[in-house]
Amino acid sequence: MDEAAILSRLGLDRVNPGAYAGIWYEGGGDTEPIYNPTTGDVLAEITTCDAATYDLVVDKATEAFEAWRATPAPVRGEYIRRLGQALRDRKEDLGALVTLETGKILAEGTGEVQEMIDICDFAVGLSRQLYGLTMASERPRHRMYEQWHPLGPIGVITAFNFPVAVWSWNAAIGAVCGDSIVWKPSPRSSLTAVAVTAICDRVMAGTGLGAVFSLAAGGTGIGSRMAGDRRLPLISATGSSAMGRSVGSKVANRLGSSLLELGGNNAMIVMDDADLDLATRAALFAAVGTAGQRCTTLRRLIVHSDVVEDMAKRMVTAYESVPIGDPMQEGILMGPLITDDAVAGMLAAVETAQAQGGKVLTGGRRRSIHGLSDRFVEPTIIEIGKDAPILHTETFAPILYLIEVRSLAEAIEVNNSVPQGLSSAIFTDSIGRAESFLSHRGSDCGLANVNIGTSGAEIGGAFGGEKDTGGGRESGSDAWKAYMRRQTTTINWGGELPLAQGIEFS
C-alpha cells in the first residue's frame, strides 16, 4: 500500500495543524514528527498547541456547547449517524493509517475503525434513549422524576495504542449527550486524530457546530492544563496508572469529574476441564495481538497443575509460529513495539523476571527484520512463581507469565492479587466453576469472561476496571450517564405544602 497516497486521501500534509475548533489553527507550539514504528521513518509532522491556542480551542468548544446542547438529542444522533457513515467510507484508509502510526496489524487497524463505526451506531440509538426514572413521591399531589442534561465541553485524553476507537467511545456518546469534545491525542499517534477531526469537520460543515469535535494536540503540558481547567467539567483519560493518578488528583482538586481507563494486568485461568485448543487460541490473540500493547492484553496465564505442561507446550508451539514483520503485510500477526523505550522496557522486564526465578520458555529477545526498524521483539512466555513481584507491574509488551496453581480458589486469589483490575477470563467446561469465578468472591475485575480471552471487548458493554485501573466505565450499557448531569425534580401540583419525613413547620 502506498503510504503517501493513504495520507493524501485522508487530507494529511507533510506538516499538519494540531489544533481545531470549527476551523484549523496552526497550534503555536513545537512542530513534532510522528514516526512509523515499523520503519522508524517520519510519517509526517504536526504542530502542537501552545497555551494561547489551547485556551482558544476550549473557548470555541464552550461556545459550540451552548448551541449543541440546545439541539434535540435525536438530531445530535443524526450527526453521529453521518459520522458513522463517513467512517464507513474511509474505513480502509483510516485503518491503514492506524497501522502506519501504531504498528498494529492491518486487520486490527481496520478493526479499530469498525469499533468507531459500532459505537456511532450505538450512539444513534442512544440519542433517543437518554431515559430518566420516575419515582413515587411520599407526598400527595407531588411528582418526582429525574432528567439528564448535557454536562459541558469535556476533555478526552487518549493513548497511542487505540488512537481513534477510545476517542470515539467518548466522542460519539458524549456528543449525543449534548457535550462538546476537546481531544488531546497521544503525541505518538496524533495523525489519526487529525484525520478523524478532518472527517468530523466535513460531517459538521455548514452547521457552525464544527467545534463540537475540537482538537488540541500536545504533550503532558496540554494534558495538565486540561486537568486543571474548570471549563471542562469532565476529563476522560486513558493511559498508565501513573498518568491517571496525576490527572485524576488534579481534576479532583477542582472538584471536577474524571473517567479513568488506566493500566490492566489481565489474567486468564485455565482449569483442568478446559478445552485447551480453545484456550490456546484465545490466549494467543489476547497476549500477542497488538504486540501486547492493549490495556486488555493477557499478561498472566494461570493454569491448573494437571494441564500446565500440556498448555505450556501448546502455547510455546503457537508462539514460535507467529509471523512477525511489517503489519501492513497480509499474514503477519505481530508488528513492532511503539518506541525504542518500549523495547528497552520489555527487555528489562525479562531480565527482572529471570532474576525473580522466572524461566523463559520462548522469546525474550529483540527480533531483527531486514529493512525494518529495530522495534521488533519475540513474543515471550515466562514461567514464574505466583509470588514474583514483577507480576504486579504492567509491562506494555508481549510478555506472558505462566503461573501454575492447584485449585480454582488459588487461581482466583492469584487473579485478584495485583493492583490493577481491568479484564479477566476463565476457561472451564464446568458451570459451577464459571459461576464461582463470576460471583462476588470471584474475579475483582471490571470485565470477567468465560471461554473468551481478556481482550477484544464489544462496544455494547460498559468498558473499564477497578483498583489501579481507575474505576471509569466507557462505551456501552449505561456508561453515557458519566457524560451528563442528573437532575432530580420534585413538582408539587396541589395547593398544600406537605413536608417530606412528615415534618410539621407551622
Nearer to ligand UN1, 362 or 469 (CB): 469
Long-range contacts (CB closer than 8 Å, 24 or more residues apart) made by 144-147: 144/488, 144/489, 144/490, 144/491, 145/488, 145/489, 146/486, 146/487, 146/488, 146/489, 147/486, 147/487, 147/489
Q: Are strands 142-150 and 134-135 parallel, antiparallel or unpaired?
A: antiparallel
Select the residue interacting with ligand UN1 from 197, 238, 380, 415 (CB under 6 A). 238
Least Cβ distance, residue 410 to ligand UN1 (angstroms)? 27
Cβ-closest position to ligand UN1 = 457
Nearest distance from C-beta of residue 172 to ligand UN1, angstroms: 14
Rounded to the nearest 10°, the torsion over CA 123, 126, 127, 133 is -150
In the structure, how many helices (H) and strands (E) does the chain have?
14, 24
Q: For residue 204, what are the CA distances in angstroms to 18, 80, 169, 199? A: 18, 10, 18, 9
State in angstroms the smallest separation of the CB of 446 from ligand UN1: 11
Eight-class DSSP state of 481: G
Shortest distance, position 505 Cβ to ligand UN1, whole Å: 54
Q: Which of 65, 68, 160, 162 binds ligand UN1 (CB under 6 A)?
A: 162
Residues 400-419 that bind ligand UN1 (CB under 6 A): none
Q: Which of 32, 108, 115, 261 is catalytic?
A: 261
Q: Which helix (H) or strand (E) holds 309?
A: helix 308-320
Catalytic status, residue 295: yes
**Which DSSP symbol is given to 290?**
G
Centroid of chain to Cα 372: 28
Binding mask 457-486 for ligand UN1 (x = CB under 6 A): x-----------------------------
Grid cell of 349 as nine digits: 522486564
Rounded to the nearest 5 percent, the helix, strand and coil shares of the chain are 40, 25, 40
| From 295, 378, 383, 404, active-site residue | 295
Site for ligand UN1 in 278-297 (CB under 6 A): 294-296
Instruction: Give 280's contacts (C-beta < 8 A, 6+ positions apart).
Output: 311, 314, 315, 318
Closest residue by Cα to residue 426 from 408, 406, 444: 408
161 part of the interface to ligand UN1, by CB under 6 A: yes
Q: CB 370 → ligand UN1: shortest distance, Å?
A: 30
Comparing CB distances to ligand UN1, the nearer of 50 and 115 is 115
CB of 246 to ligand UN1, least distance (A): 18
| Residue 304: CB minimum distance to ligand UN1, A | 25
- Per-residue binding string, ligand UN1, 20-59, x by CB under 6 A, is ----------------------------------------
Residue 166 or 177: which CB sits closer to ligand UN1?
166
Number of residues lying near ligand UN1 (CB under 6 A)? 11
Is position 120 annotated as part of the catalytic site?
A: no
Cβ atoms 17, 47 nearer than 8 A: yes
Nearer to ligand UN1, 320 or 458 (CB): 458
Residues in the chain: 506
Phi and psi at residue 98, in whole multiples of 5°? -60, -45
Considering only residues 77 to 116 of the shown chain, the ones binding ligand UN1 according to CB under 6 A are: 115
Catalytic center residues: 261, 295
User: Which residues contribute to the site for ligand UN1 (CB under 6 A)?
Assistant: 115, 161-162, 166, 238, 294-296, 455-457
